[in-house]
Amino acid sequence: MTHILQIDGLTKRFHDWERFSPRAKTVLDGISFEVAPGEIFGFLGPNGAGKTTTIKILMGIIRPTSGTARIMGHDIVEQSQQVKQRIGFLPENPYFYDYLSVGEFLTFCAALFGITGRAAAATTDRLLELVGMRHAARLPLRKCSKGMLQRTGIAQSLVNDPDFLVWDEPVSGLDPIGRKEIKDLMLELKRQGKTVFFSSHILPDAETLCDRVGIIVGGRMHRVGTLPELLKDSVSWVEVVAEGLPAGFAPAGAKTELIAGQSIIRLDDAAGLDGALKAIMQAGGAIVSVNPQRENLESYFARQVRSAGNL
Ligand X SMILES: Nc1ncnc2c1ncn2[C@@H]1O[C@H](COP(=O)(O)OP(=O)(O)OP(=O)(O)O)[C@@H](O)[C@H]1O
Question: Which residue lies nearer to Mg ion by CB, 105 or 198?
Answer: 198
Q: Residue 52, interface with Mg ion (CB under 5 A)?
A: yes
Q: Which of 4, 49, 128, 276 binds ligand X (CB under 6 A)?
A: 49
Q: Which of residues 161-200 bind ligand X (CB under 6 A)?
A: none
Instruction: Please work out the total of residues on this chain that contact ligand X, with binding judged by CB under 6 A.
Output: 12
Contact in structure between 163 and 8 (CB atoms under 8 Å): no
Is 70 a binding residue for ligand X by CB under 6 A? The answer is: no
Q: Please, which residue, 199 or 263, has the CB nearer to ligand X?
A: 199
| Dist. CA 31–CA 8, nearest whole Å | 6
Partner that binds at residue 97, options Mg ion, ligand X, none, CB closer than 5 to 8 Å by kind: none
Q: Judged by CB under 6 A, does residue 309 bind ligand X?
A: no
Between 19 and 138, CB nearer to ligand X? 19
Options 52, 101, 124, 304; binder of ligand X; rule CB under 6 A: 52
Stretch that binds Mg ion, among 84-92, 112-120, 190-198, 225-233 (CB under 5 A): 84-92
Which is nearer to Mg ion, 56 or 126 (by Cβ)?
Answer: 56
Element housing 303 (H / E): helix 297-309
Torsion of CA 58, 63, 66, 70, to 10 degrees: 30
Q: What does R_g of the chain's alpha carbons equal in angstroms?
A: 24
Query: What is the spatial distance between Cα 277 and Cα 63, in angstroms, rounded to a whole number?
Result: 61
- Least separation in angstroms between residue 167's CB and Mg ion is 11
The DSSP-derived string for 108-152 is HHHHHTT--HHHHHHHHHHHHHHTT-GGGTTSBGGG--HHHHHHH
Q: Which does 47 bind (CB under 5 to 8 A by kind): ligand X, Mg ion, none?
A: ligand X
Say which entry of Mg ion, ligand X, none residue 27 contacts (CB below 5 to 8 A, set by partner kind).
Answer: ligand X
Type of residue numbered 97: Y
Instruction: Candidates 5, 40, 45, 301: give the one binding ligand X (CB under 6 A).
Output: 45
Query: Does position 212 bind ligand X by CB under 6 A?
Result: no
Which parts of 79-118 interact with ligand X (CB under 6 A)? 92
Contact by Cβ (8 Å): 164, 88: yes
CA triplet 156, 162, 163: central angle to 5 degrees?
145
Helix residue spans in 192-272 (DSSP H): 203-207, 227-230
Binding of residue 218 to ligand X (CB under 6 A)? no
Q: How far apart are CA 27 and CA 41, in angstroms?
A: 21
Pick from 4, 33, 51, 185 the residue near ligand X by CB under 6 A: 51
CA atoms within 13 A on the CB side of 27: 21
Task: Give 52 or 101: the residue with its C-beta nearer to Mg ion.
Answer: 52
Quote the CA–CA distance of 280 and 270 in Å, as a whole number.
Answer: 15
Give the range of 41-49, 115-123, 267-275, 302-310 binding ligand X by CB under 6 A.
41-49
CA end-to-end distance (rounded Å), the chain? 37
Interface with Mg ion, residue 54, by CB under 5 A? no
Residue 149 or 159: the one with the smaller Cβ distance to ligand X is: 149
> Counting every residue, how long is the chain?
311
Binding site for ligand X (CB under 6 A): 14, 25, 27, 45, 47-53, 92
